[in-house]
Amino acid sequence: MFKKILIANRGEIALRIIRACQELGIKTVAVYSEADEDSLHVRFADEAICIGPARGIDSYLKPDRIIAAAEVSGAEAIHPGYGFLSENADFADMCASHGFKFIGASGNVIRMMGDKAEAKENMIKAGVPVVPGNKGIITDIEKAKELAVEMGFPVILKAVSGGGGRGMRIVNSVDEFEVNYQMASSEAAGAFNNPDMYLEKFIQNPRHIEIQIMADQHGNTVYLGERECSIQRRHQKLLEEAPSAVVSEELREKMGKVSVAGAKKVGYEGAGTIEFLLDSDENFYFMEMNTRIQVEHPVTEMIYDRDLLKDQIRVAAGEELGYTQDDLQIRGHAIECRINAEDWERNFMPNPGEVTSFHVPGGPGVRVDSHVYQRYKIPPFYDSLIAKLICYGKTREEAISRLNRALDEFVIEGVKTTIPFQKKLIATREFLEADFDTGLLDRINLLDK
């Protein structure tokens, strides 16, 4: 096992990684920006090294400074968390070439999954269902147009280097095709330095369902069920749950098995997530693979009673998974609300500043992952996630009732938060009946409720 790990991240996920390391008996090195001097990840780690000015591009996104910090501290491995450098293939390679274990997928797998057309081709080879569309990238616009006509409109154009909702364009008719292609492609060239696009049939009002997988270096790969992530606003998830109310045991097994096949096909190692679109007829289609631990991993931990961070670190160190698919049984239901420092009534505008009062909920079935404390000043430089409230129950109903009372118990003063929004959301008929898809927050207006 590693003796010392450097954590190349901040906020709640840095704390989450430190907690896992402490339980595994691993020493921790925090890195921090000048804006994060008073952060809990700095206080709770065994050592901390300042790596630069406040802005991400000057600190948490600077590979050479992180490598230098790892060198001076004598860490053996680097955990990137999510965001920042977690899916940067060059950084993963750089860690390896400097003798550090990058706790994530290999540079080559990250690079391949980053090319959405190549990722899709690999998944087809593994027998994973994908959305009908062109093979590879669009090289001939006329042929792409013909295929679009054949499939029927609407279709969607996606940037090969996009992902997470960036670089997409829906096309509703053949005469809009070419102009949309040109615009999307030049936008992609500007945003991702890559104009390549691919084409798919547009799936109307899908659910976003993702499968968690875990793979060790000895050929053991398992799936840990799905997370229902359909409740999003502008591709930002606000609430996630596991299991999904609409995924049957048979569907879970089908999605799980193809996910494991896809992971094995590319030689995947560590924790990963395969995102699918699920339509109302139980058809599911591969979208993309995230080669990192995700924000919403706790809902899976709660229902499978596993520590995904500890497992991820253990397999990175070369240990065997130590459990099989048959050992994994779902118990109960878990829901996560993302608490952001945002003014939800003003278009979710970020609302950084000093937290003057902070009281976290507790009691049975309640977990709070947060780096915030009373008097903490939320810096304006990073994302606005300040806490994750995860509630567990034997049933979905029990999880919801705990979520309700835990949101009521939560006190955060000094900054506006998404707590009032979450309270309204979980009181809607749509949420209570699990009657929703990715279009929910565009259809209902919580401002009037």
Interacting residue with ligand MV4 among 88, 291, 300, 438 (CB under 6 A): 438
Mark the segment that binds ligand MV4 (CB under 6 A) among 52-60, 79-87, 157-165, 324-332: 157-165
The answer to the question of residue 291 lying near ligand MV4 (CB under 6 A) is no
Interacting residue with ligand MV4 among 14, 246, 258, 287 (CB under 6 A): 287
Catalytic-labelled residue, pool 10, 292, 306, 338: 292
Q: By rule CB under 6 A, what count of residues binds ligand MV4?
A: 17
Q: How far is the CB of 204 from ligand MV4 (least distance, A)?
A: 7
Mark the segment that binds ligand MV4 (CB under 6 A) among 35-43, 68-76, 160-168, 418-426: 160-168
The answer to the question of residue 203 lying near ligand MV4 (CB under 6 A) is yes
Mark the segment that binds ligand MV4 (CB under 6 A) among 163-171, 340-348, 377-385, 387-395: 163-171
The answer to the question of residue 131 lying near ligand MV4 (CB under 6 A) is yes
The answer to the question of residue 442 lying near ligand MV4 (CB under 6 A) is no
Mark the segment that binds ligand MV4 (CB under 6 A) among 159-167, 180-188, 330-338, 341-349: 159-167
Spatial separation of the C-alpha atoms in residues 422 and 115, rounded to whole Å:
35
Applying the rule CB under 6 A, the residues between 241 and 280 that interact with ligand MV4 are 277
Interacting residue with ligand MV4 among 5, 156, 308, 406 (CB under 6 A): 156
The answer to the question of residue 200 lying near ligand MV4 (CB under 6 A) is yes
The answer to the question of residue 208 lying near ligand MV4 (CB under 6 A) is yes
292 a catalytic residue: yes
- Looking at the annotation, which residues are catalytic? 292
For binding to ligand MV4 (CB under 6 A), which residues are involved? 131, 156, 163-165, 200-203, 206, 208, 232, 235, 277, 287-288, 438
